Structure 1
Amino acid sequence: MKHDHYSSAYICEILRTVHTIAVVGASANVSRPSYGVMGFLLGKGYHVIPVNPGHAGKQILGQTVYAHLADIPEAIDMVDVFRPASQLHAVVDEVLALRPLPAVLWGQFAVRDDAAAARAEAAGLRVVMDRCPSTEFAQLTLRAS
């Protein structure tokens, strides 16, 4: 898939069908974008799981933080990545080791690595890069399902 443009239908279906979202690179700092996005997603009814080894065992927005995706004791529908683009390939390695596999890999603004995306897509994941789910949600005026 080319990742220069996504149809509204593609984004809508993702945002309507995922329920559990792991946020890799979650921050407890209220001024960080990941904190705001987590709060937005929680407010829309998603189950959000923060992932950050530096905060493991603590809470962000009332949610327990895990060090790694593999530490999360439940299935994940979507992995939302707040890490530099250069680290996306390592995140994809972690994602592809999960069972069951998440349905979606989402890279936040400036998080784009076409080779990593191709690996995820080859394994059956839908991929969105260089986008923010809260921004897309607002632009598409979706309602929590």
Structure 2
Amino acid sequence: MQISHKERGQKDAKAKPLIGLLLFLISIVLLVVTGPIGFLFGLFQQLFLRGLTGLGAYFLELAISVDQLGNVLMQHLFNWLWITKQGYAFGNRDETISSALGKNKQLGTLTPMGKAIDHLLDIIDPNHSLNSIDYYVQPDS
């Protein structure tokens, strides 16, 4: 499923609700049916061609993709719990949760719960959200 450059920046594109639902269901079925095969193939390919370094790179790519999905999936909850009304919104499909969290940390728009999440991440990886900021991702209009 390819998205045009024109659609990429439009968060609330004029999609028909049933088409969106149908495409979502098809993507879930494809993920469930073909995902395990693709994962195992990628795992063995990276292991045999590039060793542990290849596995690490593969897992990092997967982690970023899952994180971007989480940013879209959890956007409404995160926007409600973690940032003030003036904050940088979560939900951009090209951005990780940590990047949006870091932008809000810079803006000073984290709520107490958002600050607690950021602090927890800092314990695991110092300055995680600030180091994760993707400056090439622009806010959705």
TM-score, with structure 2 as normaliser: 0.25
TM-score, with structure 1 as normaliser: 0.25
- Asked which structure has the greater RCO (Cα within 8 Å, sep 6+), the reply is 1
* Greater gyration radius: 2
